[in-house]
Amino acid sequence: MGETWDVMTVTWTSGYNINEAVPLVEWERTGGTTMQSPAGTFTYTRNHMCGAPARTVGWRDPGFIHTSFLKDLWPNTVYTYRMGHILSDGSYVWSKKFKFKSPPVPGESSLQRVVIFGDMGKGERDGSNEYADYQPGALNTTDQLIKDIDNIDAVFLIGDLPYANGYVSQWDQFTAQVEPIASAVPFMVASGNHERDAPDSGSFYANNDSGGECGVPAETTFYVPAKNRAKFWYSTDYGMFHFCIADTEHDWRAGTEQYRFLEECLASVNRHKQPWLIFAGHRPLGYSSNKWFGKEGSFEEPMGRDDLQRLWQKYRVDIAFWGHVHNYERTCPIYQNQCVKSNDETSHYSGVVNGTIHVVAGGGGSHLNEFSPLKTVWSIYRDYDFGFVKLTAYNHSYLKFEYKKSSDGRVYDSFTLSRDYKDVLSCVHDSCAPYTLAS
């Protein structure tokens, strides 16, 4: 999706530089005029990489990456499109045709279905060995989404995309794997440690989880409506949903540039029009019963919720999604380590928004992570398996949440939210609007 609801971006890779062929997208709605939109041409070189193996044995020329913006779309409309190039002799070369449905106007009430998960990776279709067998669930997740693509309106992959880890050719393998999804619905991404982290590169974490990529392939391959894609935080809308996407590989604490952006993102939404406010990032800045967090005693990414929980509470965030931990877990609506709803109330929540539900959905494909043996009081459901979450907004008052396993696509955990606009406005702990008794 583009910077506004009526823009869709199309990105593809070719071997044509801008001086060899002119890239474009040809597109139309049924019964409408055929349009052509130009595309920009981008690439990156070995010198853009921050270290090994991306600068050394992992380097491979990525070719040329083209991005086009299809503008002034009609809402809820099916468009056909194809990518092409005008060659130097004036002839055209074309891709096959694809289809997508344009987003609704922000605030518009219609059936809206969004899938969210993290840590996908890639697999080998021909049965050959995948390096380190690191992402054994990737193809199952991919195939379930393809199978259900007619019942999905948008997909958010919240970090750790191909796990290329500095072996640049694996970005092509990953984009080919997700093409049946990303060509049909908006495919939005967040930045994870395996995309961004490299020593002395400006990342908040000084390890080399990206294998020297330091975010460059991710920023070039996937468009997101960020002011600066090197800083991968952004906001986006889909109908009744408003999304604030954090970049957990850059400092998020109070006083930082990102913190100011996140508060602005949360404060900007009109909950009368967009009642469903979603926060997402890669590392669990909220709550997770993962084994290594348990050993640290924090049950979160260190320093994660120290400052952000004030924003989640102040602006009444409905659900916060996290990846990084390769399993599934859902919490109760929670604030400051305390469940704010009865523990008997786990399948349906209604009324006043007085806490945020935190969901770890990091089972997109990468090897699974164990839970802590300690039973946290706020953990409602845990699953040591591969899967993804699907949100279905029926209207401004009713939302359904489903967790599905990648192995069979069946629902294993679910709940519903129902409320009225006045419930979002009501005064709750640490979130009361000032008022005066003057008349």
pLDDT digits (tens, 9 = 90+) for 144-199: 999 999 999 999 999 999 999 999 999 999 999 999 999 999 999 999 999 999 99
Kindly state the average pLDDT of the residues 237-258: 98
For the chain, the structural domain boundaries read 1-102, 107-425
* Residue whose structure tokens are 């499109």: 81
* Mean pLDDT, residues 292-304: 92
Q: Are 332 and 380 in contact (CB under 8 A)?
A: yes
Q: How many CA atoms lie within 13 A of 63 on its CB side?
A: 11
Q: Which CATH fold topology does 107-425 show?
A: Purple Acid Phosphatase; chain A, domain 2 (3.60.21)
The C-alpha atoms of residue 259 and residue 263 are separated, in whole angstroms, by: 6
Helix (H) or strand (E) holding 195: helix 193-196
User: pLDDT value at position 439?
Assistant: 83
Q: Which helix H or strand E contains 424, and what residues bound it?
A: helix 421-425
Handedness of CA 376, 382, 384, 389 (dihedral sign): negative
Give the HSE-up count for residue 436: Cα atoms under 13 Å, Cβ half-sphere: 2
For residue 406, the model assigns a pLDDT of 98
Distance CA 314, CA 277 (A): 12
pLDDT band at 109 (very low <50, low <70, confident <90, very high): very high
Q: Is the pLDDT of residue 402 over 80?
A: yes
Instruction: Tell me the one-letter amino acid at 412.
Output: Y
pLDDT higher than threshold 70 for residue 97: yes
Read off the tokens for 333: 């609506």
Strand partners, 86: 22, 92
- Give the CA radius of gyration of the chain: 22
- Quickly tell me which residue has 């806490």 as its tokens: 355
In the prediction, which pLDDT does 128 show? 84
Tell me, yes or no, if the two domains 1-102 and 107-425 fold the same way. no
Mean pLDDT within 327-348: 93
Model confidence band, residue 132 (pLDDT cutoffs 50, 70, 90): low
How do residues 252-296 score in pLDDT, each as one tens digit? 999 999 999 999 999 999 999 999 999 999 999 999 999 999 998
Decide which of 286 and 128 is more confident: 286
pLDDT band at 344 (very low <50, low <70, confident <90, very high): confident
Q: Are 145 and 181 in contact (CB under 8 A)?
A: yes
Model confidence at 80: pLDDT above 70: yes
Indicate if the pLDDT at residue 420 is higher than 70: yes
By the 8 A CB rule, do 281 and 319 touch?
A: no
Mean pLDDT lowest among 9-13, 156-160, 267-271, 299-303: 299-303
Q: Is the pLDDT of residue 328 over 90?
A: yes
The mean pLDDT of 405-421, rounded to a whole number, is: 98
Token pair of 420 as six digits:
């009225």
Phi, psi angles (nearest 5°) of residue 252 = -115, 0
In the predicted model, what is the mean pLDDT of the chain? 96
Per-residue pLDDT, 433: 87
| Rounded Cα–Cα distance for residues 54 and 164 (Å) | 9
Strand partners, 9: 69
Condensed to tens digits (0 to 9), the pLDDT of residues 357-388 reads: 999 999 999 999 999 999 999 999 999 999 99
Instruction: Name the percent of the chain lying above pLDDT 70.
Output: 100
Residue 342 has pLDDT above 90, yes or no: no
Give the full edge-to-edge strand order of the sheet including 112-117: 187-190, 154-158, 112-117, 387-393, 398-405, 411-418, 348-350
pLDDT above 90 as % of the chain = 93
CA 109 centroid distance within chain: 22
Distance separating alpha carbons of residues 116 and 243, to the nearest angstrom: 11
Q: Give the H or E element holding residue 142.
A: helix 138-147
- Binned at pLDDT 50, 70 and 90, residue 130 comes out as confident
**Residue 400 pLDDT greater than 90, yes or no:** yes
> With respect to CATH, is domain 1-102 assigned 2.60.40.380?
yes
Segment 199-206 mean pLDDT: 96
* Residue 30: per-residue pLDDT: 86
Considering the entire predicted model, what is its pTM? 0.98
